Amino acid sequence: MKTYSLVLCLLVAGAADGFAQDNQIILYPDSGRHEISRHIYGHFSEHLGRCIYGGFWVGENSKIPNSGRIRTDVVEALRDIDIPNLRWPGGCFADEYHWMDGIGLRDKRPTMINTHWGGVTEDNSFGTHEFLELCSLLDCEPVICGNMGSGTIREMSQWVEYLNSDNVSPMTNLRKENGQEQAFGVTYWGVGNENWDCGGRMTAEYYANELRRYSVYCKNYGENELYKVACGPSRDNYHWTETLMKDPQTRNSFHGLSLHYYTICHDWEKKGSATDFTEGEWFTTMQKTLKMDEYIGKHSEIMNKYDPEKTKGLIVDEWGNWHDVEPGSNPGFLYQQNTLRDALLAAVNFNIFNKHCDRVKMANIAQTINVLQSVILTKEDQIILTPTYYVFKLYKVHHDAILVPHRISSELYTVDYQSIPAIHTSCSKDENGMMHLTLTNLNPNKDINVECSVHGKESLKIIGGEIITGEEMNAFNDFGKPESVNIASFDDIEVEDNKLKITLPARSIVLIKVEI
């Protein structure tokens, strides 16, 4: 019997009225083999702007409800989307962070200047213990990124020992003196960050040598085995991936290889407004976001050459929309609003990650609160759940589910003689056999009729549907106002001749639950 392990996208120019042949999806639920790791839906928190301070962490004796200075409204919101992991302390900040400055009595901790992000004073009141307490409250896995740029092998080695050792040793005793009797047992460990740029401006060859050295001294303690994430490439730096994968000693020094890709509408100097944009800028954003599929595919091809059994994960630990900062805010704080455009971008990325779940094992949106494409914005005691937040909530159904392969033909969305497929989709089947189909309509102006069939199934039952959309393509949620973007019920679905007939509203993300 023929099986379909890859998603085939057949692009058809133009579109006819009604349920024509242009927009068709065929699902193959019995051919699914790969699990979509919940860790694909991970998050990133850096000491940058108001992500930590004012986001997760409040001042001493704050009137904002908190648990040990960690905001309870933020914890409750993140628990509601089943946050699987949280990456910390950076980012570029990681390679100037010295972890011993952030332990012990808080009023005795030394300060530092955050040279990467705004030149502000970092008081180190939020350190290792505070971060791991946050992860405990969130019931998520900590992902710690070590300092290879300005740190030492000894420093990183001792941090691992401090976190994970129960042996009699100076680091174990120090941890106990600081109030933690049992080892934390941290599994996920980044060996440097962006070492091709802010992490030391290394060549791939130099980093590969350093990676081997550092990896030797980042040891396993007890039954806890580290999952070491090597600094990987940015965008299309395929030489970096080739260098780290081709040598067996280097390849055996890590378990996951990171990939960073930010969607920037224009360029680094003038990225464009988060809220005031044209349809052309909407289109360019979606077009550039779809490059993620190309980058993952080509880096995976290199990894497949040296690791055909796919023992190494591709870890997309920084991704998202990067816009200009909001007017009047500190340029070094990277604070931006979050619109329906960002929500569509998140959905497309999730569909791509799901598609490549045989290789992509973790991803972390940049960043969780008040920085770049945030899922939460805060202002004093107020909190906003952004359109991107609701995409994370909608896509929870894919956590640890089996990817359902599919074929899709989509009409094109065209602006200024350039085109992209209007429909983007992902599907999975959970442990109870329930199938969840998520679809995006990237055309902000036109509703699209889609016909979906399920191979090998004689009957289909629609259990329900949900939708994220907005009245305008730049709809966003703001302080002191009712939400403009949220999750609503969706029922523009019917079953006819054992096929789903779906009308996707313009600029929308739709989830359909189907019993097969």
User: Over 140-169, what HEC string results?
Assistant: CEEEEEECCCCCCHHHHHHHHHHHHCCCCC
Q: Do 202 and 271 share a domain, yes or no?
A: yes
Confirm whether 2 is domain-assigned. Answer: no
pLDDT single digits (tens) 40-88: 999 999 999 999 999 999 988 999 999 999 999 999 999 999 999 999 9
Q: Do 182 and 321 share a domain, yes or no?
A: yes
Confirm whether 3 is domain-assigned. Answer: no
Q: Which of 367, 400, 433 is the last residue of a domain?
A: 400
Q: Do 187 and 214 share a domain, yes or no?
A: yes
Q: Do 180 and 310 share a domain, yes or no?
A: yes
Average pLDDT over residues 423-432: 96
Tell me whether residue 46 is one of the annotated catalytic residues: no
Catalytic entry in 130, 318, 451, 466: 318
Confirm whether 237 is domain-assigned. Answer: yes
What per-residue confidence (pLDDT) applies to 491?
A: 94
Percentage of residues of the chain with pLDDT beyond 90 = 92
Place of tokens 């019997």: 1
pLDDT single digits (tens) 31-40: 999 999 999 9
Q: CATH number, domain at 412?
A: 2.60.40.1180
Q: Which of 373, 400, 427 is the last residue of a domain?
A: 400
> Which are the contacts of 317, defined by CB distance < 8 A and separation ≥ 6?
42, 44, 87, 143, 190, 229, 258, 259, 260, 362, 363, 364
Catalytic entry in 194, 210, 281, 466: 194
Tokens, residue 350: 């999730």
Range of the domain at 483: 8-34+403-515
- Can you tell me the distance from the alpha carbon of 275 to that of 342, in angstroms, rounded to the nearest whole number? 10
Which among 283, 486, 270 is positioned nearest to 394, based on CA atoms? 486
Q: Which of 376, 400, 424 is the last residue of a domain?
A: 400
- Can you tell me the distance from the alpha carbon of 368 to that of 376, in angstroms, rounded to the nearest whole number? 6
Mean per-residue pLDDT of the chain: 94
Place of tokens 């100037």: 96
Q: Do 146 and 219 share a domain, yes or no?
A: yes
Confirm whether 181 is domain-assigned. Answer: yes
Tell me whether residue 318 is one of the annotated catalytic residues: yes
Q: Do 393 and 417 share a domain, yes or no?
A: no
User: How many independent structural domains does the chain possess?
Assistant: 2
Q: Do 346 and 431 share a domain, yes or no?
A: no
Residue 253 has pLDDT above 60, yes or no: yes
> Which are the contacts of 239, defined by CB distance < 8 A and separation ≥ 6?
204
pLDDT single digits (tens) 90-111: 999 999 999 999 999 999 999 9
- Can you tell me the distance from the alpha carbon of 293 to that of 286, in angstroms, rounded to the nearest whole number? 12
Confirm whether 1 is domain-assigned. Answer: no
Confirm whether 225 is domain-assigned. Answer: yes
Q: Do 14 and 65 share a domain, yes or no?
A: no
Q: How confident is the model at residue 346 (pLDDT cuts 50, 70, 90)?
A: very high
